[in-house]
Chains A and B, each alone.
Chain A
Amino acid sequence: MRPYQPPAPEYAFGYRRPPRLGNEINGLGVADKVRATPVFHRHGETTDWQALDDFFSFINPWSVVVNMVRNTWQLRRSDGPVAGTRREVDDATAMAAEVKAIAKQAGAALVGITRITEEDLYVGREMPYEYAVCIGLDMVYEEMAFAPQKRAAVEVMRAYREISKTAIRVAEAIRAMGWPAKAYGNPNVTDILHIPLAQRAGLGQLGKHGSMISKEHGSNFRLAAVLTNLPMALDAPVDIGVDDLCSSCTRCVIDCPADAIVNEKRMVRGENKWYVDFDKCVPYFVKTYGCAICIEVCPWSEPGHGPDLMEHLLRKRAQRRTA
């Protein structure tokens, strides 16, 4: 049970002249495969929802801003000099294992590797890298239980700061091998879509609430990535039974104060997938400094529960098939 009841979805802020619908910008209902357009959380460019994004930055508590500032400072090292002597890679599998070990040693809870495709980039971006090392870091569940209060927002930004540190260390280790690498750890400054990359890298599956679900941590984790050209063996997407759970579970749908989560998958940029209504979600997200109710009420997020849940779901699926 959460320590506080979430506030009502009533807002003392708004647009006098509402921008283009966020769902439209996100490509809801678009059957063609097109690249995503930034809606929110951009740095160095203006989006249709910039005014609300700026407002969000200003009303955030100082304890959240401090973490953002510290993350910005450390992420100056996201890129750096590449060693002059390149270590040749004869065994991509061994190299992948080595990079994963570096990431784990640097604090990563989850690591996977995938190839970057055009759809992983926001529109207008070019990609000089071929691979993404996707990293996940779990958050402190007891702190996140305070969602949608300030305390959970602080924990989210602390996790981003920690995972950035991990990504920077991995990028530095790869550059020391003579290969270019860039760390992506700031949720507000990103050119890539972390979730599709992380799904293909085998970190988990997309849940009904629009966030990743991993076997070990449910949705109680954050993502970062290291982009590089270092040849490594790729991971495969996993099926841990998320669709089996989400198609019958309505916990996040019921608990979302803004009614932004629905029980059916939607067509988004050429893919039928779980989708959260941006235009309903984002005002509540702003009001509550990042909300996060949906990821914390997800039964998969309960610590230690995930592996058993996966086993149970896959066993039931197998039973259904043989029946």
Chain B
Amino acid sequence: MRTVDSDGNVDTAWGRLRRDAGTLKRIAGMVFVYATAGAKIRRRYHAKLASGGTYWVDEPDENEFDENPPAKNEPDKNEPDTNELDPNEPDT
């Protein structure tokens, strides 16, 4: 049984510092995975999208590039964004 109460002691300054450090670590992990593994997945997915293939979400290692991938990923007609990582993109 998982309680919905706090996962850690946040009553002390030290406890809150540990919580903040843990959150920062989690965020850094999220961004790192999005930028590395995520970039690979996005590239492979867009290659499948352009070639008419299927990206298998439950077997990511089997999603090799097509033999003749397009020179440039062709985005969806209605979606101009390629979804590549762009840290300079303005928020909202």
Interface residues of A (CB under 8 A from B): 4-7, 11-17, 19, 51-52, 54-55, 57-63, 65-70, 72-73, 76, 79-82, 121, 124-129, 149-150, 154-155, 158, 182, 191-192, 227
For the A-B complex, the count of residue pairs with Cβ-Cβ distances under 8 Å equals 133
Interface size on B, residues (CB 8 A): 49
A62 to B87, Cβ gap below 8 A? yes
Bound CA–CA A15/B63 (angstroms): 12
CB-defined contacts of B49 to chain A, threshold 8 Å? 12
B72 interfacial by beta-carbon distance below 8 Å: no
Q: 19 new A-B pairs (CB below 8 Å) besides A73-B27, A81-B10, A150-B79?
A: A7-B76, A7-B79, A12-B49, A13-B48, A13-B55, A15-B58, A16-B56, A17-B58, A54-B57, A55-B55, A62-B89, A73-B24, A80-B16, A82-B11, A121-B4, A125-B3, A128-B4, A182-B6, A192-B4
CB-defined contacts of A81 to chain B, threshold 8 Å? 10-12, 16
Q: Which of B5, B52, B83, B86 contacts A128 (CB 8 A)?
A: B5
> Secondary structure of the B side of the interface?
loop
B62 interfacial by beta-carbon distance below 8 Å: yes
B1 to A126, Cβ gap below 8 A? yes
Can you spell out 29 A-B residue pairs with CB atoms less than 8 angstroms apart? Answer: A7-B77, A12-B45, A12-B53, A12-B55, A15-B58, A19-B58, A55-B55, A55-B57, A57-B34, A59-B42, A59-B45, A61-B89, A62-B83, A62-B87, A65-B34, A66-B91, A69-B27, A72-B27, A72-B30, A73-B23, A73-B24, A79-B10, A81-B11, A81-B12, A124-B2, A125-B2, A149-B79, A182-B4, A182-B6
B2 to A79, Cβ gap below 8 A? no
Q: How far is the CB of B55 from chain A (nearest CB, A)?
A: 4
CB-defined contacts of B45 to chain A, threshold 8 Å? 12-13, 55, 59
Bound CA–CA A140/B69 (angstroms): 39
B78 interfacial by beta-carbon distance below 8 Å: yes
